[in-house]
Amino acid sequence: MNSQTEGTFETHSVLTCPSCGQVKEEEMPTDSCIYFYECTGCGVLLKPLQGDCCVFCSYGSVACPSIQQRALG
């Protein structure tokens, strides 16, 4: 896994599809949230779980940069 940071934020997250288990590392934008993501394994359209702002927060190994920023306070 290639982990990079931009400032103090992780910019890569590993998404795991809850439908088929496909795992893929993706780069996260630092200026917006990704609400929809199409699984590269089965084609299911992922959307955030209730209470999450984006697919990275719901299915990723690392929360999105906006959540990381809030955690830093």
Which pLDDT score, from 0 to 100, does residue 1 have? 42
| Model pLDDT, residue 7 | 59
| pLDDT at residue 3 greater than cutoff 60 | no
Residue 73 CB: number of other CB atoms within 10 A?
4
7-57 pLDDT, tens digit per residue, is: 578 999 999 999 999 999 999 999 888 999 999 999 999 999 999 999 999
Q: Which helix (H) or strand (E) segment is 60 a member of?
A: none
DSSP 61: S
Give Cβ neighbours of residue 19 (< 8 Å, ≥ 6 apart): 39, 42, 44
